[in-house]
Structure 1
Amino acid sequence: MLLIFGTTLRNRILTVVRFVCEYCRTDASQQVTENATKVSVFFIPLFTVSRRYSVACSNCGGVTALTKEQATSGMQWAERNRPVTN
């Protein structure tokens, strides 16, 4: 029996926030992302084996690792500070 299995990396943008980048010192958009490694069989993802969070500067591309709590806090902050549109 031939069983094809492996892992895949799924990247998901959780939110976009705007603040001063620690690398380039520019006030720029920052993407908060979740990177999940999933085990798959026959190219169908079954379960997640790890999750990592990071923030990436849209100006210089600098990436900083985040904890899950920091990513969640960033999402909550972005939701509270979203501009009101009519």
Structure 2
Amino acid sequence: MIIFGTRRYLYQLAMLTLVCGRCGNPAAHTLRKRVTKFTLFFVPLFPMSTKFSTQCTFCGVEQQLPKEQALQLQAQAAGAPAAPQGPGQQAPQQPAGQQDQGQNPFRQG
């Protein structure tokens, strides 16, 4: 008899102050990493999926993020400079007071 399954792990990577895209309040957001691992006889062996998200502490909305953006936000929270861009690539700049209409409704507050 073989016993197998999955187990989820939730890691809090950082607390960020961002302007929420839903409620519009500058509030703390939790940057989280959710890892699902395959288990054999209740022993976690390897990760099957990894997802990153932020959650607003004011209204509770949760936003999925791509890995690169999550790591960049984590580096900013740690005080490290942003990851270097490749040749010809620049980080998008957003004027203060203007709402972002793209995939990520958050901007640094």
TM-score (norm 2): 0.70
Q: Cα offset for 1:26? A: 0.8
Aligned to 2:17: 18
Aligned to 1:42: 41
The structure 1 segments of at least 4 consecutive aligned residues displaced by more than 2 Å after TM superposition are none
CA offset digits 1:24-71 (Å, max 9, x no partner): 111111011111110001111000011010000011110111011011
Identity percentage over the alignment? 34
Aligned to 1:84: none
Q: Which has the higher strand share?
A: 1
SS of residue paired to 2:58: coil
The count of residues paired between Structure 1 and Structure 2 equals: 80
Q: Which has the higher helix share?
A: 1
C-alpha distance in structure 2 between counterparts of 1:62 and 1:26, whole Å: 12
C-alpha distance in structure 2 between counterparts of 1:10 and 1:23, whole Å: 27
TM-score (norm 1): 0.88
